[in-house]
Structure 1
Amino acid sequence: MAKYLGIDLGTANVLIDVKGEGIVLNEPSIVAINSRTNDVVAVGKDAYEMVGRTPANITAIRPLKDGVIADFNITEKMLQYFIDKLNVKSFFSKPVTMICAPTNVTPVEQKSIIEAAEQAGGGKVYLQLEPKVAAVGAGLDIFKPQGNMVIDIGGGTSDIAVLSMGDVVTSRSMRFAGDKMTLAIQAHVKQSHSLIIGERTAEEIKKQIGSAMCGNESNTFSASGIDIISGLPKEITLNEKEVEEALSDGVTQIVESAKTVLEETPPELSADIIDRGIMLTGGGALLKNLDKLLSKELEVPVLMTDRPLDSVALGTGILLENIEKHKKY
Structure 2
Amino acid sequence: MAAFRTDLGIDLGTASILVYAKDKGVVLNEPSVVAIDYNTNKFLAVGEEARKMLGRTPGNIVAMRPLKEGVISDYGVTERMLKYFIQKASGKTFFKPRTIVCVPSGVTEVEKRAVLEASTQAGARKTYLIEEPIAAAIGAGIDITQPNGNMVVDIGGGTTDVAVISLGGIVVSRSIKTAGDDCDEAITRYIRKKHNVIIGERSSEALKINIGTAYKREKEVYMEIRGRNLVTGLPKTINISSQEMFEAMEEPISSIVDTVHTVLERTPPELAADIANSGIVMTGGGALLYGLDKLISERTGIRVNIAEDPIACVATGTGKALDWVDVLENSLLDSDSIVER
Task: Please give the TM-score of this superposition, normalised by the length of structure 2.
Answer: 0.94
Q: CA deviation at 1:88?
A: 4.3
Q: Which of 244, 247, 255 is matched with 2:246 structurally?
A: 244
1:294 equivalent in structure 2: 296
**CA spacing shift, 1:150–1:40, aligned 2, 3 Å:** same
Q: Which of 137, 150, 153 is matched with 2:152 structurally?
A: 150
2:191 equivalent in structure 1: 189
In structure 2, the gaps of 5 or more residues are 332-341
Deviation by residue 1:98-143 (Cα, 9 ceiling, x = unmatched): 0011111000000001111111123110001001111110111111
- Given that 1:217 and 1:241 are in contact with CA atoms closer than 8 Å, whether structure 2 keeps it comes out as no
2:127 equivalent in structure 1: 125
Q: CA deviation at 1:328?
A: 4.2
1:68 equivalent in structure 2: 71
Counterpart code for 2:41: N
Superposed, 1:101-180 pairs within 5 Å as 101-180=103-182
Matched, 1:221 2:215: no
In structure 1, the gaps of 5 or more residues are none
**Distance in 1 between the 2:90 and 2:262 partners?**
44
Q: CA deviation at 1:90?
A: 3.5
- Given that 2:19 and 2:28 are in contact with CA atoms closer than 8 Å, whether structure 1 keeps it comes out as yes
**CA spacing shift, 1:216–1:194, aligned 2, 3 Å:** farther
2:205 equivalent in structure 1: 203
Q: Which of 309, 312, 315 is matched with 1:310 structurally?
A: 312
Q: CA deviation at 1:297?
A: 0.3
**Distance in 1 between the 2:326 and 2:220 partners?**
54
Deviation by residue 1:197-222 (Cα, 9 ceiling, x = unmatched): 01000000000000001135630011
**CA spacing shift, 1:156–1:177, aligned 2, 3 Å:** same
- RMSD between superposed Cα atoms in Å: 1.1
1:53 equivalent in structure 2: 56
**Distance in 2 between the 1:295 and 1:216 partners?**
18
**Distance in 1 between the 2:143 and 2:91 partners?**
29
What secondary structure is seen at the aligned counterpart in 2 of 1:324?
A: coil
Counterpart code for 2:116: I
Q: CA deviation at 1:56?
A: 1.4
- Given that 2:19 and 2:89 are in contact with CA atoms closer than 8 Å, whether structure 1 keeps it comes out as no
Q: Which of 34, 37, 41 is matched with 1:34 structurally?
A: 37
**Distance in 2 between the 1:17 and 1:242 partners?**
37
**Distance in 2 between the 1:261 and 1:276 partners?**
16
Q: Which of 65, 82, 86 is matched with 1:83 structurally?
A: 86
**Distance in 1 between the 2:249 and 2:325 partners?**
39
What secondary structure is seen at the aligned counterpart in 1 of 2:54?
A: coil
What secondary structure is seen at the aligned counterpart in 2 of 1:309?
A: helix
**Distance in 1 between the 2:188 and 2:292 partners?**
20
Counterpart code for 2:22: K
